[in-house]
């Protein structure tokens, strides 16, 4: 239960932070990449392959911003772009072996970080915190600015 709860806590906070744009500072870094690039690596890793448009939508950024982020990840040999065999306009983004290492490193580090946070919450309050964060996340998603 604790592992499931901490994973759920992480997901709720990750989505909330991403949706509020708190970690979008380019000078901040995560495992040698910017926080924006880190978010992209995590989403690509979870999807295994994804289009630029889908990734931009998930991360709530415009296509040109996402394209620049992916260009930097390609330059750093963390992702590759592949043209769809039947539709050359459709580009699939995947992690390289180095990108997969970064993804696993981020996932392991964040899992441990959120386990520690979850453990710090009194056991009788954990469900309440998770429920409150879920409600907050839903409210933020329903009331996005601009």
pLDDT digits (tens, 9 = 90+) for 86-117: 877 788 999 999 999 999 988 888 888 789 88
Count of domains observed in the chain = 1
Query: How far, in Å, CA of 97 to CA of 11, rounded?
Result: 24
* Residues 6+ positions from 9 with CB-CB distance below 8 Å: 114, 117, 118, 129, 130, 133
* Range of the structural domain that residue 66 is part of: 25-124
Query: How far, in Å, CA of 72 to CA of 93, rounded?
Result: 13
Question: Considering the domain boundaries, does residue 107 fall inside one?
Answer: yes
Does the structure show a pLDDT above 90 at 2? Answer: no
How is 20-49 classified by DSSP, letter by letter?
A: HTTT--TT-EETTEEHHHHHHHHHHHHHSS
**CATH code at position 120:** 1.10.10.10
Question: Considering the domain boundaries, does residue 1 fall inside one?
Answer: no
Q: What is the pLDDT of residues 3-54, one digit of tens each?
A: 788 888 788 878 877 765 554 444 345 667 888 898 999 999 999 999 999 9
How many C-beta atoms lie closer than 10 Å to residue 84's C-beta?
Answer: 11
Question: pTM for the whole thing?
Answer: 0.74
Question: Considering the domain boundaries, does residue 130 fall inside one?
Answer: no
Give the sheet arrangement for strand 50-51, strand by strand.
50-51, 91-95, 79-83
């Amino acid at each position: 239960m604790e592992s499931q709860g901490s994973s759920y806590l992480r997901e709720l906070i990750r989505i909330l932070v991403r949706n509020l744009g708190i970690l979008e500072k380019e000078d901040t870094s995560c495992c040698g990449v910017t926080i924006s690039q880190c978010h992209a690596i995590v989403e690509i890793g979870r999807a295994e392959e994804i289009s630029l448009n889908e990734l931009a939508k998930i991360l709530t950024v415009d296509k040109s911003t996402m394209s620049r982020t992916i260009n930097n990840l390609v330059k750093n040999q963390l992702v590759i772009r592949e043209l769809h065999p039947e539709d050359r306009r459709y580009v699939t983004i995947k992690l390289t072996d180095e990108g997969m290492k970064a993804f696993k490193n981020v996932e392991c580090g964040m899992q441990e970080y959120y386990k520690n946070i979850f453990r710090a919450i009194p056991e009788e309050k954990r469900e309440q915190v998770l429920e409150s964060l879920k409600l907050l996340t839903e409210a933020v998603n329903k009331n996005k600015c601009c």
